Chain A
Amino acid sequence: MKKRGKATFFVVAALIAFLAYTALFGITSQYGDVKTPILKGVDTIRWGIDIRGGVDVTFTPPEGTKATKDELAAAESIIQQRLIAQNITDNEVYTDYQNQRIIVRFPWKDDETDFNPEAAIKELGETAELTFREGDNRDSSGNPTGVTAENIILTGSDVKSAKAGQNPNNQEIVVQLELNDSGKEKFAAATKKLAGVGQISIWLDNTRISAPAVNEEIPNGVATISGNFTAETAKDLADKINAGALPFALTADNYNSINPTLGMGAKDAMLLACGIAFVAVCIFMIAVYRLPGVVACIALVGQVAGAFAAVSGYFGPFPSFTLTLPGIAGIILAVGMGVDTNIVTSERIKEEIRAGKSVGAAVTSGFKNSFSAIFDSNITMVIVAVILMGAFGPPSSLFAKLLNPIFQFFPSAITGAIYSFGYTLLVGVVMNFIMGVTASRLMVRSLSKFRCFDKKWLFGGKKDEA
């Protein structure tokens, strides 16, 4: 019995070391000059805009306007298209249909030196200019030229609605377009002219979104656009056309922009503080709890690494997560919980040893007796974390849906900062069960089987005890 399980310590410690190393530095495979990340390291963490600087803006329809669900979807699609047009690919866009809000967050680009957030916000919220133009002539930068630039057939106000649908004859997925009275005649004339010989291109601002060929004259203002659509691409095009037909511009009463230099300093300070605090805690733990203290430090390394891994998207199925300043605070708090778990257990072992038990027996009952307290306190933390994520997360997130019966009576307030705090706290608690409870137990029990460590004072007994 005594012989078995000695290797466990080394296996667990090696696994933690592996996790810590890979979570910090990542693993990349190199093929020629192309590096492909296999496991993502800390450098791939997406920092929140409070750290790297950026813009956080909430768009709403103007006061007194009640937007429909379709109108909001259209508005969201136009915002997304404009973000891409401005080359802001790293963005988050959430739409809260219940409370008529579109929340947009995007960070500063790395090479950005002179960025004007107000101009960007203004541009995102403006009504999109939808045009139907004759032909599909574009210059090298994609702008309309020639007849396409000159001959505008329809504008946004001529379009009543667009939606994705199916052609009843052949089940093909199409976009169904319906025009207002103002557009019917113009469209009829244009389609008569172009039927069989030309195209009508559809533009949103200065981006061509579609260029269907005209098959026949369309006199009644009801047209379908067909051509290899999937349900998704058809909806996308319909949303964009609807965006151009939106009767209002979005207003941005709520916005927040932070210069990157402010935030990056905060990040460095936070990480430095994390490092120093970690060392201080380790010194304390080893000084007070000796062997279990050493194990606690190893487990804490695993816990911190696990927390960063959960944020960077290291664990395949879990996507990367934006890490904000409160998010870092959440990691610190979770590490505090991890320290507490180890203290509760180590205290218990010490007590059992002072009550006269052997090292092996004290370790076993120490872990057993401390578990209920650790379990209950961690579950209450889970309650806090889940509520934070549900109350302050994007409406489409899992926890928000879970808590919708409670929070639907309250208006949405999507603060990414608090959401990130809840997430890191939740991850921390899970890591606490894995590291603080399971890994610690395996390591301490394994170590207690070595004769050289089978000494009571190493577990908190008096010095003179064997």
Chain B
Amino acid sequence: MKRNLDIVGKKKIFFAISSLIVVFTVVFALIFGVKMDIQFTGGSIITYSFDGELDESAFAKELSAALDAQLKTQLSENTVTKKDNIIATLGAKKNVKADKVEAALQTLQEKFPDNNIQQESINSVSASMGSEFFIKCIAAVAVGAILMILYIAFRFRKIGGWSAGVMSVVALMHDVFVIFAVFVLCRIPLNDSFIAVVLTILGYSINATIVIYDRIRENSRIHRSMSVAERVNLSINQTMTRTVNTTITTVTAMVIVCIIALIYGVDSIFTFAFPMIIGMISGLYSSVCISGPLWVTWQEHKAKKKAAEKLAPKAKKK
């Protein structure tokens, strides 16, 4: 017989750990601030490539003058094209018009004739469209969460669907927080890949939670005499191998993506894949250690309330 882990019995420890993560993230975000990508705030990012040695501060000064805007520059190397890049970020809420960018490139090519300066990419977002995009993203996540609760409430109505739905979404919010924490701690600006990661992990984590709830549903039929806590614990243990193996395969796949992205220097993939890995691990943790035990707490609380009502029906009425 396999050893059964007493997950539900240790729920207080898990709740404490998760609460700590949430509190720590909030405090960290409040102190150090949250970086937002220009996709949400508006602004422009222009990437130029160059050959040889480039005087970064002189370059920044020329570009700033040509575009008539405050900007920050940063050097980087593209491992695919083997070229040195200089990335200019224009201050928040200020994006530039196309014709100015065109003129700026000409100026730069004239001022730095030896460096073969080429414009590799530009991303320019107006402030109003950025904030609209942000609102829409929040709306998409919210609508997604509500629809999931509705669906789970319907499918798991035999085991108290609403509580199952709400608890699974609480576990999901935990995962969102962990992903948020990764972006904040690693100083990755929030952008559309943050939204994509969040939505993926939402689906992924709810997947694991549903497999466990599905077992609880099944065990409610088979083991009627068991207590809620025992039943949930049994279900978690029965599905543990699946949960762990699925996480191993998907995380392995994502780690490979991550490593390749690092080798090839594809930043956009890395900032997508890395939070995804953490999110997947968090999804494993929250499905096993949070959503099940949390549901037990709710059910026990409900049972206690019922018992209390039976014992002292008058006291309740006041």
Residues of chain A whose beta carbon lies under 8 Å from any beta carbon of chain B: 50, 58, 116-119, 121-122, 251-259, 261-262, 264-266, 268-270, 272-274, 276-278, 280-281, 284-285, 288, 325-326, 329, 332-333, 335-337, 339-340, 343-344, 347, 351, 369, 372-373, 376-377, 379-381, 383-384, 387-388, 391-392, 403, 406-407, 410-413, 415, 417-418, 421, 425
Contacts and interface: CB of A to CB of B under 8 A. Distances in A.
Given A254-B124, A273-B257, A410-B135, A266 B269 contact: yes
Contacts of A413: 129, 132-133, 136-137
B29 interface: no
Interface in B100-153: 101-102, 118-126, 129, 132-133, 135-137, 139-140, 143-144, 147-148, 151-152
Nearest to B217: A372
Contact of A256 (B122, B133, B139, B253): B122
Given A343-B245, A391-B140, A284 B252 contact: yes
Minimum-distance CB pairs A-B, first 3: A265-B80, A253-B126, A269-B264
B78 A411 contact: no
A256 B38 CA distance: 12
A425 B101 CA distance: 37
Contacts of A388: 140, 199
A165 B121 CA distance: 45
Contact of B261 (A119, A273, A425): A273
B200 to A, nearest CB: 6
B199 A265 contact: no
B252 A281 contact: yes
Contacts of A266: 80, 264, 266, 268-269
Contacts of B99: 118, 122
Contacts of B125: 253-254
A387 B195 CA distance: 12
* Range, interface on chain B: 35 or more
A119 B249 contact: no
Interface of B: 78-81, 95, 97-99, 101-102, 118-126, 129, 132-133, 135-137, 139-140, 143-144, 147-148, 151-152, 155, 192-193, 195-196, 199-200, 202-204, 206-207, 210-211, 214-215, 217-218, 238-239, 241-242, 245-246, 248-250, 252-254, 256-257, 259-261, 263-266, 268-269, 272-273, 276
Contacts of A387: 140, 143-144, 147, 199
Contacts of B126: 253-254
Nearest to B256: A277
Contacts of A335: 253
21 contacts: A122-B98, A122-B102, A261-B120, A266-B268, A266-B269, A270-B260, A270-B266, A273-B256, A326-B272, A329-B269, A332-B253, A332-B257, A335-B253, A340-B249, A369-B218, A380-B152, A383-B147, A410-B132, A413-B129, A417-B196, A425-B203
Contacts of A418: 192, 195-196
B260 A272 contact: yes
A377 B206 contact: yes
Given A387-B199, A415-B133, 4 more contacts: A122-B98, A270-B260, A380-B206, A391-B143
Contact of B148 (A251, A285, A380, A421): A380
A117 B151 CA distance: 46
A59 B177 CA distance: 35
B140 A118 contact: no
- Which of A117, A255, A337, A411 has most chain B Cβ within 10 Å? A255
B249 A343 contact: yes
Nearest to A417: B192
B206 A119 contact: no
Nearest to A269: B264
Contact of A340 (B143, B151, B246, B268): B246
B257 A336 contact: no
B249 A285 contact: yes
Contacts of B200: 329, 333, 384
Given A280-B253, A336-B250, A383-B144, A265 B264 contact: yes
A379 B150 CA distance: 12
Given A276-B256, A413-B132, A117 B122 contact: yes
A376 B257 contact: no
B245 A268 contact: no
A118 B124 contact: no
Contacts of A50: 268
Contacts of A379: 151
Given A411-B132, A413-B136, A265 B253 contact: no
A254 B129 contact: yes
A173 to B, nearest CB: 39
Contacts of B137: 413
A254 to B, nearest CB: 5
B210 A347 contact: no
A381 B249 contact: no
B136 A391 contact: yes
Contacts of A270: 257, 260, 266, 269
B195 A381 contact: no
A325 B269 contact: yes
Contacts of A403: 143
Contacts of B265: 265
Contacts of A407: 136, 139, 143
B95 to A, nearest CB: 6
Contacts of B192: 326, 415, 417-418
Given A343-B245, A369-B218, A326 B253 contact: no
Nearest to B98: A118
Nearest to B100: A118
B101 A118 contact: yes
B140 A255 contact: no
- Which of B126, B136, B207, B239 has most chain A Cβ within 10 Å? B207
A410 B245 contact: no
Nearest to B262: A269
A261 B81 contact: yes
Contacts of B241: 347
Contacts of A347: 239, 241-242, 245
B78 to A, nearest CB: 7
Nearest to A251: B97
